[in-house]
Structure 1
Amino acid sequence: MSATNASASRPAESDDQVLELREQIRRKKLGLTVMRAIPGGLVLLLAVFVVLAIVTGVRGFSSGAVLVGSMLLMSGLLIGPEYYTEKDALLALTSKLRRRMAHLARTSSREQGVGAQRFAYRAMIPDQIEAYRLGARKLRRTHNFLQSVVIVGSISASALVAFSVESGLMRVAAVVNTLLVGLAATVSTYFKFKERSLNHQAFADTLETELRAAELRIGDYVGKSDDAVLEQLIARVESARAEHNLLERQLDQASEVTLPTLPEGGSER
């Protein structure tokens, strides 16, 4: 066997290129997190200044809000292009990792048959669990952010309306606040981030439960041979994947049906 084939036939967990790609992906994700944290912190600081300006009426807080808003705009202009460049690089690394793991699976399958291909499939399950949990966390964060906008905007609406009687700036802020609350509520309802997050998390939990049961030979895996355990594990994973995809399609269809009925006073159940 050549050196290339020997390297390709190793499990994904011990392949040098796979390990290096995973480390690069980890560093890219960390960098993207830092880039998101900077404008996120400025948004929080801006919200604090705005609330203090509304509650106390002190002009200094209004000036601080303008200053922080300018800093937020500048950070968006400076970090935004770099953020999307790094995000594209992360997607490229992820795609390269998947191609490498697919190459390992194909090479192993050609050399050792279907059993090796099933082993390669099982070796990829932990990565699938992590990917779906990451997706669930992102969707949950998006949902929580939108709900925070709705809650904060709803609470501050009355204060903005009260101050708008004496200030033209507050009247503009009240209008913008109303638009943001409506937009956040509409986006959250239409895209169903919470439901999609729960679906992703449930699928990841199902994969982890099946994988742990197969490794420990408990439940339906008791007393079965290694080949039988692997075959049943793959069947269970594919069944769970089909159910997950079905729920995703149902969520898409629900959004498509519900949205046009809003002008008529809401969708019928």
Structure 2
Amino acid sequence: MTEPVNLSSAATTTDVLIQHRRDIADLQQRIKNRRLQVLGLYGTPIAAVAALLAWAGLKIFVWLDSDTPGAISEIFGGAVFLLGVATLIQWVVELSSDFSLWRDPKTPVRELRLELALAEERHILDARQRTPPPMDRQASYKERLPAEIVRLRQESQHYRRLHLLMQWLLFISSSAISAVTAWYDPPQPGKGILIGLAFTVTVVTAAAGYFKPRERAFNLQQTADSIEQHATALELGIAPYNAAEEKRNLEMFATTVEDLRADQRMREQQLDQPQQGQQQVI
């Protein structure tokens, strides 16, 4: 008779924590939207004034003794008109109570930040009071790992494609330099093409040496494969997860995976450091 009660309690705890996450995500989105609204409210009239000043400056410093070209006047006049209309519409929506296009009109961003901080605090307090036992947390941790493996492999594939793109740019540009040098006898247009190709080779070589996409792809793929190997071993109950107690296996599995993720983060930090810094770390 106690099992349904435990299941009901666990379901209630899950619903409460999920609702906290939804509230936090909603407040984060509201803060982003409100920042854009405030930026439009104050940025649009500033842009209109700047356009007017630029228009007047061109008239004073360039066409003081002659008429401003019609195209210039039309461009600046249309820009000022559109910015003025946008400013009027935004402030009407902001100040009028008849429109509900914006969710948080007349609400400062700092007030939304305070609500977000309070929501995060409530989430922490409820999570602390409703924290499940370690074995349940370790089991749920195991269920979250497939998504982590997919993420690591997607990032690995991204860096692998970036590395291949850089290599192909180097191959094509380096080959084209020799071809253009042999094809064009006159300085132009061969000279300009050679400058562009040499610039491409230099930029791609520097970017490949700085960002190291090949090494990042290898490290991410290696971490994903290792985590998947341990997850398969735990699922099949083979060494090193063949202990009689499931709690022991889950604890060892969570510890091993966290060590693998920590090693991955350390390798990423080493790749972000200059070559001299990497040698000192190693």
Give the TM-score of the pair, scaled to structure 1.
0.55
How far off is 1:7 after superposition?
7.3
Q: Paired residue for 1:162, among 182, 185, 199? A: 182
Cα distance change, pair 120–173 in 1 and its aligned pair in 2 (3 A): same
8 Å CA contact retained: 2:13, 2:130: no
Identify which of 205, 208, 233 aligns with 2:228: 208
Q: How far apart, in 2, do the equivalents of 1:229 and 1:5 lie?
A: 23
Query: Is 1:176 the counterpart of 2:196 in the alignment?
Result: yes
Partner of 1:132: 152
Deviations 1:24-56 (A, max 9, x none): xxxxxxxxxxxxxxxxxxxxxxxxxxxxxxxxx
Higher mean C-alpha deviation, range 218-227 or range 126-135: 218-227
Matched with 1:251 is: 271
Q: Which of 104, 117, 136 is 1:116 aligned to?
A: 136
Code of the aligned partner of 1:219:
A
Kindly state the Cα deviation for residue 134 of structure 1 after the two structures are TM-superposed.
Answer: 0.6
* CA shift in 2, pair 1:209/1:173, >3 Å: same
Q: 1:127 to 1:115 in 2, by over 3 A?
A: same
The TM-score with structure 2 as length reference comes to 0.52
How far apart are residue 156 of structure 1 and its match? 1.4
Counterpart selection for 1:224 from 228, 244, 248: 244
CA separation of 1:237/1:167 partners in 2, compared to 1, >3 Å: closer, same or farther? same
- Residue in structure 1 matched with residue 11 of structure 2 by the alignment: 6
* Cα distance in 1 for residues equivalent to 2:215 and 2:185: 41
| Alpha-carbon distance between aligned partners in 1 of 2:254 and 2:235, rounded to the nearest angstrom | 13
Distance 1:182 1:248 in 2: 24
Runs of 4+ in 1 over 3 A off after TM superposition: 1-5, 7-10, 106-109, 254-258
Note the residue ranges of structure 2 that are not aligned, 5 or more in a row.
Answer: 16-20, 23-122
Structure 1 residue 224: Cα displacement: 3.0
CA RMSD of aligned residues (A): 3.5
Counterpart position of 1:152: 172
Supply the distance in 2 between the matched residues of 1:127 and 1:220 (Cα, whole angstroms): 23
Amino-acid identity (%): 25
**Aligned-partner Cα distance in 1 for 2:210–2:239:** 40
**Paired position in structure 2 for 1:187:** 207
**8 Å Cα contact 1:164/1:174 also seen in 2:** no
Higher mean C-alpha deviation, range 128-137 or range 248-257: 248-257
Equivalent positions of 1:50-129 (< 5 A) are 110=130, 112-129=132-149
Alpha-carbon distance in 2 for matches of 1:198, 1:125: 19
Select the structure that is richer in helix. 1
Deviation, 1:118, is 1.6
Rate the CA distance shift 1:209–1:171 in 2: closer, same or farther, 3 A: same
The residue type paired with residue 9 of structure 1 is: T
Return closer, same or farther for 1:4/1:134 CA change in 2, 3 Å cut-off.
farther
Describe the shift of the 1:204–1:108 C-alpha distance in structure 2 as closer, same or farther (beyond 3 A).
farther
